[in-house]
Structure 1
Amino acid sequence: MNTPFLYSLDNKRYHTYNYYLTSRFGEKVSRISLNGGFTCPNIDGTKGTGGCIYCSSAGSGEFAGNKNREISEQFEEISRKMGEKWDTPKHIAYFQANTNTYAPLEKLKRLYTQALACPGVVGLSIATRPDCLPEEVCDYLQELSQQTYVTVELGLQTIHNATGEKINRCHTYEEFLNGYEKLRRRNIPIGVHLINGLPGETPEMMVASAKAVGQLQPHLIKIHLLHVLEGTRLAQMYREGKVPLLSLSQYVQIVCDQLEWLPPETVLGRLTGDGDPKALLGPFWSLKKLVVLNEIDKELLRRDSWQGKKLSS
């Protein structure tokens, strides 16, 4: 199907992760979510307690492996389950739960090495905080990135510090920029996470976050939807009527507005979020991921728009 967007072989008008990985590795690549048993500095009291208000006890790793098992055992179990759905011989090992550089360097080396030794693994994705990147860890990540495909994914969520305080993020936008620069100057591919629908944010604020991150020209961006999970502080706020949730149509409009300001070369690792269905309190339309993605496709087509269009106009 014809599309005006360069980085696409189908009807997509944005740079999908699948397009990038298939182009790089010659075939479809799956992602295996692993749990290294990490915590966070805004959980253990170093910078705060309780974690971000939307994080469950799993630390955003609901779909990751069992932290009580060895990395190789987690990988085997999850890849076997995924094999029932997708038969992909190549994999990205994704350290997802909590802050995956928040440990002594020797532990990081051991876990990352174990993951890279798993069958078919062609790279690592490491989710972390921008304030948990000591120089020695960055030096090691640089070594790894020269040997294999490594993406370090930073949880920014928003550029607005007032919102950061509301969600108990416990780091500032300025700290994010400092961590980003540590990785950038070492030529380590960087991913950035944004969340749409955070308490008190307007669509204009969400687009401003995307524009600011786009100007940094990261390798990858993941756009998430704020969803409410049972057992989180956000759940209590939601029950008290303090957190209005975005409708599907609102979310689609915001995402398309954001995409228009992102560089075409930047990979979109995600355009929506999906929480544990058993714990989800809302919005329930988020459970229909394909519907959300189809609505984004339709809106971009209706606008005759695509990722980065406003950068060239």
Structure 2
Amino acid sequence: MMVHNPLYNDFAAFLKQHFTCKVQKISINAGFTCPNRDGSKGQGGCTYCNNQTFNPEYCHTDKSVRTQLEEGKRFFSYKYPDMKYLAYFQAYTNTYGELQELKNKYLEALQTEDVVGLVIGTRPDCMPDELLNYLEELNKQHFLLVEYGIESTNDQTLIRINRGHTFAETVDAIERTASRGILTGGHVILGLPGESPEEIVSQAGTLSRLPLTTLKLHQLQLIRGTRMAYEYYKNPEEFHLFGVDEYIDLVIDYVEHLRPDIVLERFISQSPKKLLIAPTGD
């Protein structure tokens, strides 16, 4: 009998530890914005960001949270009729709003049939203690994963990509969240301008010292309509876009430097061809 010994902790196995049924995330656009878009910290958002790259067709702010979930369920239930779902608050900053508004949207998701938990994507500078108090109580009754956009551990990079927060704020948010017993995840982009392969790999050791449960990695993608795309056209020599084999080697090196118990959810991202400038994978 062959025994499967994975080389890393994958997200599917992680979900099996929490659920006895097959579980699928459904993305939601709940109509939030970001502090570096609305002027409270900045304008224009992160230089690489175009939310069209990861929003499914059913994600529109003119639809309620419940409606988006029901449409997402219809897509997946055709193949897996017994599937359960996690409501994934993905677009923009999903803890950036009045507390009651946030509660209403989270509860609307949890009250949707077959939804068994929440995944909340947010920024490190948008997690007030008042909201953490609420999420701590919610976590006692429902599956909850809070996912922070880390992007880089380098403050100079964070300034360059207009993140509007420091890595120290990332550390603080992750530690405060995990200390409440809440599953805490992170997201990083490999290949941001100005970061060498050696600097990228050293990031893995830094992140390993944080109480992260899950981590998403993906390659830098240049997307039409973003400020970074303009920067690339103007100064392409400032960017290093990894080829397929080179990126695979980078990811292997990165993972080998990560704390082995961190659950790795993904290694790449694929943007719609009509929006993607580079890399194309050729």
Normalised by the shorter chain, which TM-score bucket? over 0.9
1:13 is aligned to 7
SS at match of 1:284: coil
Deviates more, 1:244-253 or 1:97-106: 244-253
Asked if residue 256 in structure 1 is aligned to residue 249 in structure 2, the reply is no
Question: Could you say what the CA RMSD is over the residues aligned between the two structures, in angstroms?
Answer: 1.8
SS at match of 2:264: strand
1:175 is aligned to 169
SS at match of 1:156: strand
Asked if residue 123 in structure 1 is aligned to residue 94 in structure 2, the reply is no
User: Unpaired segments of 5 or more residues in structure 2?
Assistant: none
Post-superposition offset of 1:99? 0.4
Indicate how the Cα distance of structure 1 residues 85 and 280 shifts in structure 2: closer, same or farther if over 3 A, else same: farther
Post-superposition offset of 1:76? 1.0
SS at match of 1:115: helix
Post-superposition offset of 1:282? 1.5
Indicate how the Cα distance of structure 1 residues 61 and 109 shifts in structure 2: closer, same or farther if over 3 A, else same: farther
Aligned pair partner of 1:79 in 73, 78, 91: 73
SS at match of 1:181: helix
Asked if residue 50 in structure 1 is aligned to residue 44 in structure 2, the reply is yes
Deviations 1:23-59 (A, max 9, x none): 321232111000110000011111111111110154x
Post-superposition offset of 1:244? 2.8
1:295 is aligned to none
Alignment partners' CA distance in 1, 2:246 and 2:158: 22
SS at match of 2:199: helix
1:278 is aligned to 274
1:33 is aligned to 27
Deviations 1:169-225 (A, max 9, x none): 110001111111221221111001111010011111111222111121311111121
Post-superposition offset of 1:88? 5.2
Q: Any conservation in 1 of the 2:184–2:211 contact (CA below 8 Å)?
A: no
Alignment partners' CA distance in 2, 1:12 and 1:230: 37
Map 1:164-243 onto structure 2 (within 5 A).
Answer: 164-240=158-234, 241=236, 242-243=238-239
Aligned pair partner of 1:246 in 220, 225, 242: 242
Q: Any conservation in 2 of the 1:229–1:276 contact (CA below 8 Å)?
A: no
Number of equivalenced pairs: 279
Post-superposition offset of 1:82? 2.7
**Aligned residues with identical type, % of pairs:** 39
TM-score relative to the length of structure 1: 0.84
Alignment partners' CA distance in 2, 1:36 and 1:181: 26
Deviates more, 1:264-273 or 1:149-158: 264-273
Paired amino acid for 1:186 = R
Q: Any conservation in 2 of the 1:38–1:97 contact (CA below 8 Å)?
A: yes
Paired amino acid for 1:258 = Y
Alignment partners' CA distance in 1, 2:233 and 2:79: 36
User: Unpaired segments of 5 or more residues in structure 1?
Assistant: 4-9, 287-313
Deviations 1:213-239 (A, max 9, x none): 112131111112111111111111222
Alignment partners' CA distance in 2, 1:268 and 1:92: 17
